[in-house]
């Protein structure tokens, strides 16, 4: 690595680390004051609070690293531009791309670190923070229970549950379908019920249900059996269906991919949002590289000496807000089925990368 590359990386690393730590402490401060009443009401031990905030570190770092990346690159290049060091580099015949290449490589390195954290540390961290919240911080009044649409859960004994609606308050599953597989995930049976209700002896009672025996290809092989009421011994409790959404975030990439394949029989309404979540596990870490790419042209813009700091900070905030806002819109459109799952997760990266390449080419 050449001396110039090491110099540029040093100028980038310090503001990146400072920004990342600043965002981490800012998150801790806001979260602490937001939940201070809950902490005091539940008398949460200090060690529990420490575990909660330590477990949140990888989550916050991955979520804020794109913002820290664009802040660092604008700060780095803006300072070099203000001291005319970029002019000196250009006078030596270096192109803008050559000067930017160490920063782009740093963006790729941050991306791969974020990918590692996203798959190996964040699922466990989210599980720890969720358990601590439920045990020590949340009260009955803070746990709002609303109707949940399109619930899918792959449970024990090779059973896959799909309900059009779930009422956590009354513990009722509406329009329930249960798929039963063998150990090799070949279909054995299907049960369709108008509703299923959790009864006092910890079992589910199905109403107006029909049971079908299925062949190896999923075809009906025998006459269906109808029941007005049927009590089933199902291991899954109402809390299992209520935690379905959070369980997705506890899965690693491979586990989530296998889960989607298993519940594919539930239809596209259920799997679409899961595919968006799966693609976003890869797409979001690449926001580090993309925002560095688009931040380079803005960092090279010649700022006035007195107003450079505020101008640079304003650009960082504007670029980051636009990215996070547009990414949220694309994710929502993808989960709603308006966009494909892949484009819903990657669309914002592609748009901002295109803008960055065009701006860099015109320098």
Instruction: Please write down the HEC assignment for all residues of 56-88.
Output: CHHHHHHHHHHHHHHHHHHHHHHHHHHCCHHHH
Residue 305 falls within a domain, yes or no?
A: yes
Average confidence score pLDDT of the chain = 84
pTM: 0.77
pLDDT at 147 over 60: yes
Residues 17 and 130 in one domain: yes
**Long-range pairs for 97-104 at CB < 8 Å and ≥24 separation?**
97/360, 99/8, 100/296, 100/360, 101/5, 102/5, 102/8, 102/9, 102/12, 103/8, 103/9, 103/12, 103/73, 103/76, 103/77, 103/292, 103/296, 104/289, 104/292, 104/293, 104/296
Grade residue 140 by pLDDT with cuts at 50, 70 and 90: very low
Residues 58 and 95 in one domain: yes
Domain boundary among 277, 300, 318: 277
Q: Report the distance separating Cα 189 and Cα 174, nearest Å.
A: 19
Give the model's pLDDT for residue 346.
96
277, 309, 338 - which closes a domain: 277
- Shared domain for 125 and 156, answered yes or no, is no
Instruction: Judge whether 46 lies within some domain.
Output: yes
Which pLDDT belongs to residue 145? 55
Contact (Cβ atoms closer than 8 angstroms) between residue 89 and residue 23 = no
Q: Name the pLDDT band for 243 (thresholds 50, 70, 90).
A: low
**Residue-level pLDDT at 333:** 94
Same domain? 320 vs 356: yes
Domain boundary, last residue among 224, 248, 277? 277
Per-residue pLDDT reduced to its tens digit, 97-130: 788 889 999 999 999 999 999 999 998 888 888 8
Q: Are 45 and 154 part of one and the same domain? A: no
Across the chain, how many H-helices and E-strands are there?
A: 14, 6
Q: pLDDT tens, 56-102?
A: 999 999 999 999 999 899 888 888 877 788 888 888 888 777 888 89
Q: Answer with the residue of higher pLDDT: 346 or 46.
A: 346
Q: Are residues 220 and 282 in the same domain?
A: no
Residue 310, domain extent: 3-135+278-361
């Amino acid at each position: 690595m050449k001396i110039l590359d090491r110099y540029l990386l040093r100028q980038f690393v310090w503001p990146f680390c400072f920004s990342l730590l600043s965002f981490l402490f800012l998150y801790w401060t806001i979260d602490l004051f937001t939940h201070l009443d809950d902490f005091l009401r539940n008398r949460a031990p200090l060690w529990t609070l420490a575990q909660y905030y330590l477990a949140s570190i990888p989550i916050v770092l991955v979520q804020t690293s794109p913002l820290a990346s664009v802040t660092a690159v604008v700060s780095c290049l803006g300072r070099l531009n203000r001291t005319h060091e970029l002019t000196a580099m250009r006078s030596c015949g270096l192109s803008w791309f050559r000067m930017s290449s160490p920063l782009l490589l740093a963006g790729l390195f941050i991306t791969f670190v974020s990918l590692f954290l996203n798959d190996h540390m964040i699922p466990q961290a989210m599980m720890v923070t969720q358990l601590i919240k439920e045990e020590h911080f949340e009260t009955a009044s803070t746990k709002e229970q609303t109707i949940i649409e399109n619930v899918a859960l792959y449970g024990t004994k090779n059973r896959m549950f799909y309900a059009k609606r779930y009422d956590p308050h009354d513990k009722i599953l509406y329009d329930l379908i249960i798929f039963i597989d063998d150990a090799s995930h070949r279909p054995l049976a299907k049960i369709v019920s108008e509703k299923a209700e959790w009864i006092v002896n910890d079992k589910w009672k199905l109403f107006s249900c029909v049971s079908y025996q299925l062949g190896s290809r999923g075809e009906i092989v025998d006459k269906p059996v109808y029941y007005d009421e049927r009590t089933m011994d199902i291991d899954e409790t109402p809390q299992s269906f209520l935690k379905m959404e959070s369980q997705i975030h506890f899965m690693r990439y491979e586990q989530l991919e296998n889960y989607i394949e298993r519940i594919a029989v539930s239809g596209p309404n259920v799997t679409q949002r899961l595919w968006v979540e799966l693609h976003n596990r890869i797409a979001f870490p690449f926001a580090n590289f993309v925002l560095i790419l688009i931040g380079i042209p803005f960092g090279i813009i010649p700022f006035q000496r007195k107003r450079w700091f505020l101008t640079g900070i304003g650009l960082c905030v504007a670029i980051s807000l636009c990215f996070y806002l547009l990414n949220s819109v694309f994710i929502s459109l993808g989960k709603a089925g308006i966009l494909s799952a892949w484009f819903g997760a990657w669309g914002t990266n592609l748009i901002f990368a295109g803008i960055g390449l065009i701006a860099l080419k015109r320098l």
